[in-house]
């Protein structure tokens, strides 16, 4: 009887536990709706790493739906006066927000305005502005989960790369070793795959160098090697160049031995895929600049027609290169000047300059080189692969807007501490305690 009674008591306790959890969730939602930032902090500490890691798992459509539902809608809760006052002190937010507002307003003077293109431009600027506001709010309060994002991206990318290699080796799996490698998630296009795996390689490189754990460093170096191999098999030159530029920037602010070691790893990986017959670098290089120069020339030729404010964010005219008309000039710098003129171009260059200066300053004063490494990689890729950085969720949020937000965290940490202490303090740390 006692056992049976005890068992019955345990069984009856389960609904009570579930009911209590349900009440806790409801209470948390109610507090978040009423502006409890601590609840939102804990929520986005989980959701943002998932959103960034999902680049390697989910296709574009499902990934954006995940972002809209679980990230963008909850970010609306940050639209409060006290939040806007808090983030207004960050120059990264001011410049980024000004660029988003200009992009949305530029719909009014777009030369080929349609209802669909206007809606798309305004929606894009609004989503990016909301994302930037919410993440800057987390950053200035030292709550942005950049360390968790680092771990999530590095090891998700490594696992997905290995899975892709296995699928290529399995006949009938739908993946082919012929041509440029295409994989899971956003990597279903070789160019996108090279960019996101190049980004993962950069982040893994920083993690391996800066972590205090030997086990983590070993795992990060393994992930770095896997991502480099994927990058090489995708046969895209811009992210390969970006990885080298990021290694040089990191070495210049940390140690030249870093550059030598990383170049050695890259050389070994390159030799391995060449000897294995997986990549023909002679053919890779022989492709030359493809149609980039013609696309750039066509865009530059038309910039003087809308010199000050640009052709407008809703402009849908294409760019001609190698006899083909594409919807992108494949250069983010030229794209900004084309769509929003010298006003938008000045904001973009100012934002890049400020972020680069702050990131380099932090790296040279004993802080993390994460923002600097991602930014140098990202700006290199933007030179060849991007229409403009004012876009809906895509790889540019990884390679450009993420270091912008990290610099917001760095700046906020420096403002909050005495001058001497802040000079040695970074917003990013890879010790186990940071998790």
Write down the domain spans for the chain: 26-428
Q: What are phi and psi of 168, to 5 degrees?
A: -65, -35
Low-confidence winner among 68-82, 284-298, 394-408 (lowest mean pLDDT): 284-298
Cβ neighbours, 10 Å, residue 237: 15
Predicted confidence (pLDDT) per residue in 369-413, tens digit:
999 999 999 999 999 888 899 999 999 999 999 999 999 887 766
CB 144 within 8 A of CB 405: yes
Cβ proximity of 395 and 186 under 8 Å: yes
Confidence (pLDDT) at 389: 93
Question: Among the listed ranges 13-17, 79-83, 120-124, 232-236, which one has the minimum average pLDDT value?
Answer: 13-17
Q: What is the pLDDT of residue 414?
A: 56
Whole-number pLDDT of residue 65? 94
**231 neighbors 373 (Cβ within 8 angstroms):** no
| The most confident of 22-36, 188-202, 249-263, 408-422, by mean pLDDT | 188-202
Residue owning tokens 């895209």:
236
Q: Comparing 56-70, 153-167, 211-225, 313-327, which segment has the lowest mean pLDDT?
A: 313-327
CB 169 within 8 A of CB 175: no
Q: Give the contacts of 219 (CB within 8 A, at least 6 positions apart).
A: 155
pLDDT band, residue 177 (cuts 50/70/90): low
- Residue/partner pairs of 24-28 with CB below 8 Å, 24 or more apart: none
Say whether pLDDT at 429 is over 90.
Answer: no
Cα(334)–Cα(331) distance, integer angstroms? 5
Q: Tokens in use for 358? A: 């702050």
Q: How far apart are CA 21 and CA 7, in angstroms?
A: 22
Kindly report the pTM of this predicted structure: 0.87
pLDDT at residue number 270: 65
**How close are the terminal C-alpha atoms of the chain, in Å?**
48
pLDDT of 324? 81
Sign of CA dihedral 59, 65, 68, 74: negative
Q: What is the pLDDT of residue 130?
A: 93
φ, ψ for residue 324 (rounded to 5)?
-115, 150
The predicted model gives 67-90 an average pLDDT of 87
Q: What is the pLDDT of residue 427?
A: 46
Tokens (6 digits) for 312: 């407008």
Query: CA-based Rg of the chain, rounded to a whole angstrom?
Result: 23
pLDDT of residue 425: 41
């Amino acid at each position: 009887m006692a056992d049976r009674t005890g068992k019955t008591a345990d069984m009856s306790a389960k609904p009570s536990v579930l009911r209590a959890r349900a009440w806790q969730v409801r209470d948390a939602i109610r507090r978040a709706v009423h502006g409890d930032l601590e609840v939102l902090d804990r929520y986005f500490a989980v959701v943002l790493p998932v959103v960034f890691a999902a680049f390697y798992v989910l296709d574009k459509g499902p990934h954006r739906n995940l972002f809209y539902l679980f990230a963008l809608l909850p970010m609306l809760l940050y639209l409060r006066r006290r939040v806007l006052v808090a983030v207004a002190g960050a120059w990264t937010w001011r410049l980024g927000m000004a660029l988003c507002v200009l992009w949305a307003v530029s719909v009014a003077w777009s030369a080929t305005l349609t209802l669909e293109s206007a809606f798309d431009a305004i929606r894009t600027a609004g989503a990016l502005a909301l994302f930037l506001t919410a993440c800057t709010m987390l950053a200035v309060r030292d709550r942005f989960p950049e360390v968790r994002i680092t771990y999530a991206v590095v090891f998700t990318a490594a696992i997905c790369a290995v899975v892709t290699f296995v699928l290529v080796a399995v006949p009938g799996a739908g993946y082919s070793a012929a041509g440029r490698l295409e994989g899971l998630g956003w990597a279903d296009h070789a160019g996108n795959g090279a960019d996101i795996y190049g980004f993962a390689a950069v982040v893994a490189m920083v993690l391996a160098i800066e972590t205090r754990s030997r086990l983590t460093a070993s795992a990060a170096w393994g992930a770095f090697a896997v991502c480099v191999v994927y990058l090489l098999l995708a046969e895209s030159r811009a992210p390969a160049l970006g990885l080298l530029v990021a290694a040089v920037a990191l070495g210049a602010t940390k140690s030249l031995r870093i550059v030598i070691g990383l170049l050695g790893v890259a050389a070994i990986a390159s030799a391995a895929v060449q000897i294995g017959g997986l990549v023909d670098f002679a053919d890779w290089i022989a492709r030359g600049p493809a149609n980039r120069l013609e696309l750039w020339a066509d865009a530059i030729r038309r910039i003087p027609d809308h010199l000050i404010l640009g052709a407008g964010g809703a402009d849908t005219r294409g760019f001609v290169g190698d006899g083909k008309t594409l919807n992108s000039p494949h250069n983010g710098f030229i794209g900004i000047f084309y769509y929003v003129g010298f006003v938008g171009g000045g904001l973009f260059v100012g934002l890049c300059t400020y972020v680069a200066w702050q990131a380099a300053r932090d790296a040279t004063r004993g802080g993390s080189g994460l923002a600097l490494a991602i930014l140098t990689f990202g700006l290199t890729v933007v030179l060849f692969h991007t229409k403009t950085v004012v876009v809906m969720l895509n790889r540019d949020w990884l390679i450009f807007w993420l270091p912008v937000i990290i610099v917001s965290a760095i700046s906020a940490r420096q403002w909050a501490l005495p001058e001497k202490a802040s000079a040695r303090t970074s917003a990013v740390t890879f010790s186990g305690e940071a998790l």
